């Protein structure tokens, strides 16, 4: 299994090595938006090689932002998937319930 915390640290180390931003989360979120748009454009063109590269770029930005915010993305994903597994859905929409 991939150690997401190690990936987060590696992303930040690479950013430091290249003198990229490591503290302005708002700026990183804006850059992430750009990467998601590039992924969308690659998908529209059905360019699988570029889709794969852009998916990786999106993941790298999310890993970096997670590290900047002190989150353990792997743990957070596992927790959220457990929550989602317990939710009730009808026609793909979440049902709000008291339980």
Residue 21 belongs to domain with CATH number: 1.10.287.1080
- Section 21-48 average pLDDT: 98
Q: What is the DSSP letter of 22?
A: S
- Section 80-97 average pLDDT: 85
pLDDT of residue 83: 93
pTM: 0.87
In a domain, 88, yes or no: no
Contact 80, 72 (CB under 8 A): no
> Residue 67 sits in which domain range?
4-71
The pLDDT tens digits for 43-70 are: 999 999 999 999 999 999 999 999 999 9
In a domain, 87, yes or no: no
The proportion of the chain whose per-residue pLDDT surpasses 90, expressed as a percent, equals: 85
In a domain, 47, yes or no: yes
Position 21 pLDDT exceeds 70: yes
| Number of domains comprising the chain | 1
């Amino acid at each position: 299994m991939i150690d997401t915390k190690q990936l987060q640290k590696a992303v930040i180390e690479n950013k430091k090595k290249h003198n990229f931003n490591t503290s302005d989360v708002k700026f990183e979120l804006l850059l992430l938006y750009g990467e998601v748009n590039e992924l969308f454009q690659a998908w529209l063109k059905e360019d699988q090689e570029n889709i794969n590269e852009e998916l990786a770029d999106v993941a790298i930005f999310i890993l970096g932002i997670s590290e900047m915010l002190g989150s353990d993305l792997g743990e957070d994903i596992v927790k959220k998937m457990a929550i989602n597994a317990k939710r009730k859905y009808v026609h793909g929409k979440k049902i709000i319930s008291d339980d």
